Chain A
Amino acid sequence: MPESTEQPRAIWAIGGGKGGTGKSFLSASLAIALSVEREDIVAIDADLGGPNLHTLLGVRENGWDLGDFVENRIPRLEEIALPTSIPGLRLVRGSENTLFLANLNHARKLKLIRQIKSLPAKGVVVDLGTGSAYNTLDLFMTASPGIIVVTPEPTAVENAYLFLKSCALRVLRAYARHFGIADFEEKVSHAFGHSSPTLLKFMEDLAAGDGSAAQVLTAALRNVRVSLVINKARDRKDGHLGRSIVDVVRKYFLIDMDLLGTIPHDERIHWSLRNFSPFMLEHPESDASRAIRSIAEKLALKALQGEGEKEPSRPV
């Protein structure tokens, strides 16, 4: 059966390294908010270690999941994007099979990415797992933008930088291969093997040896589309954290990160989860829900602007 030619208008992937920052909560909440904004949204639980997006969306029924698709029991991803109780929102459940991660080899990963890109929907929200495994990074970089979730804790910030550095190096490696930049892998190993320099320092050293290669790779970094959401902010100081991280990333990672918003901490999120009830639906007028809706509006607007830019190239 040929793949559909209709493509999702936007793919948003939520990642960020550390567990417990609220990636799945944000994925579920954004999917709900976007389904109101744009209708016809598909949420994909691509947490390759511990999927629970279905719980956050109040879906209790078992059914086909991502593992069935990846292991070829179901030929098309679209077939396992099943309706939820929320109008305009479908869900691809994550696999609870612990061997799933090991089975996601290169060919299967490409198949997954290709089918995510060709899902007939107006938008796709991909919930990623913790860590910086290549599979997670590749799914994250498929999105535009990938969204990193950080809570105001040193561990979360530290992991977010590690995740971002891993993403950046993944992009740099791909560009270096494409442009045939010699000895790049050796330079990466040499620089990051025994210490942890900033990406800026690495690029400066690279530029000192090969200016044109550094120029190509710097441009590659500037094209990386990454956004930031601060979750569980408790005070004004936490509210400023996003701007500070964006500044550090711009100066030391050479990446223009976009701050989407800050979500205030809300104890009721815990109780919504206990009740198997999506927080966005239970407390739509809370500050946290408002912040999430504002983030969804920004994402929808950016996606629309992206569509606008493509308009002239379409055949009349």
Chain B
Amino acid sequence: MIKKVEEMDFYDLLNLRTDASPKEIEDAYLLALATYHQEGLASYGALGDADRASMLDKIEEAFETLRDPRKKSVYDGSVLARRPEYRKRAYFRRTTQRLEIEDAQEPVKLWDRIRAAAGSSGRRGNGQKDAHNRVLPEALPGDFYYYGDYLKKVRERKGLSREEVAARCGIGPDRIEALEKETPASLQCKQETFRELSLYAKGLGLGLGKGQNALFSDRLDE
């Protein structure tokens, strides 16, 4: 489709990424001024005076908005959602067999996902009790997963085998594999999975924030 200059957003107009720094915004503005200035060489012979003047007005407007954090924030809120890269995308699982498109979950960070799960029903379990009247831990939901792929990539990036990381965190290599593959059938109950996940993350040297530690302590106290 033809993208008219009038339809370009300020980032397109200045050839900027949406996460551009203030210095990059200023540099892009200066280059655009040099390009479309009435005496600029780059647009000579390609554009008439009216087109140049119109473009310069847009460049000024773009810079005035993007240089001001408050205006930029308001502008981003109204414009970025329309950009293709910001449109809601389906969250893809590892295999196409389990592809979710229409009703997919939005990608949520690992710890947010864990916190949400713990806060909703994890603390009280599923209400079932054992022979000693103790509440049984809740069974792991089928659609619950922990970015095992991410942990696997970290492990591989660090050049660690499953055995090596297992020795570090005191979990068996088979459990490490189950965590990485995110296969609910092979994972234990949620409480145990949290514990193993925490140990695995620590074994990889991934720092846990204070709140996250507390979350895990709570879980382990149950």
Residues of A near any B CB (own CB < 8 A) = 152-154, 157-159, 161-162, 198, 200, 203-204, 207, 214-215, 218, 237, 240-241, 243-245, 247-248, 251-254
Q: Using C-beta atoms within 8 Å of the partner chain, give the interface range for chain B.
A: 10 to 19
Interface pair B44/A200, CB less than 8 Å apart: no
20 other A-B residue contacts (CB within 8 Å) besides A158-B45, A198-B51, A243-B31: A154-B41, A154-B45, A157-B41, A157-B42, A157-B44, A157-B46, A198-B46, A203-B2, A204-B2, A204-B4, A214-B2, A215-B1, A240-B34, A244-B35, A244-B40, A244-B43, A245-B42, A247-B32, A252-B5, A254-B2
Residues of B near any A CB (own CB < 8 A) = 1-2, 4-5, 8, 15, 31-32, 34-35, 40-47, 51
> B residues within 8 A CB of A158?
44-45
A157-B41, A207-B2 known; A198-B34 Cβ under 8 A = no
Interface pair A218/B1, CB less than 8 Å apart: yes
Contact of B47 among A154, A159, A198 (CB under 8 A): A198
Give CA–CA (A195, B51) in the complex, Å: 15
A247-B15, A252-B46, A252-B47 known; A218-B2 Cβ under 8 A = yes
Give CA–CA (A102, B4) in the complex, Å: 41
> B residues within 8 A CB of A215?
1
Give CA–CA (A153, B47) in the complex, Å: 16
Q: Is the interface of B mostly helix, strand, loop or mixed?
A: loop
Most B C-beta atoms less than 10 A away, residue of A153, A157, A204: A157
User: A217: nearest residue on chain B (CB-CB)?
Assistant: B2
User: B45: nearest residue on chain A (CB-CB)?
Assistant: A158
Cross-chain pairs A/B with CB under 8 angstroms, 20 sampled: A157-B46, A198-B46, A200-B5, A203-B2, A204-B2, A207-B2, A218-B2, A237-B34, A240-B31, A240-B34, A241-B42, A244-B35, A244-B42, A244-B43, A247-B31, A247-B32, A247-B35, A248-B43, A248-B46, A252-B46
Give CA–CA (A245, B43) in the complex, Å: 7
> A residues within 8 A CB of B46?
157, 161, 198, 248, 252-253
Give CA–CA (A157, B4) in the complex, Å: 23
> A residues within 8 A CB of B42?
157, 241, 244-245, 247-248
> A residues within 8 A CB of B51?
198, 252
Give CA–CA (A285, B34) in the complex, Å: 32
Give CA–CA (A203, B46) in the complex, Å: 15
Give CA–CA (A253, B42) in the complex, Å: 13
Interface pair A244/B47, CB less than 8 Å apart: no
User: B4: nearest residue on chain A (CB-CB)?
Assistant: A204
CB distance from A90 to the nearest CB of B (A): 37
> A residues within 8 A CB of B8?
251
Most A C-beta atoms less than 10 A away, residue of B5, B34, B41: B41
> B residues within 8 A CB of A162?
45
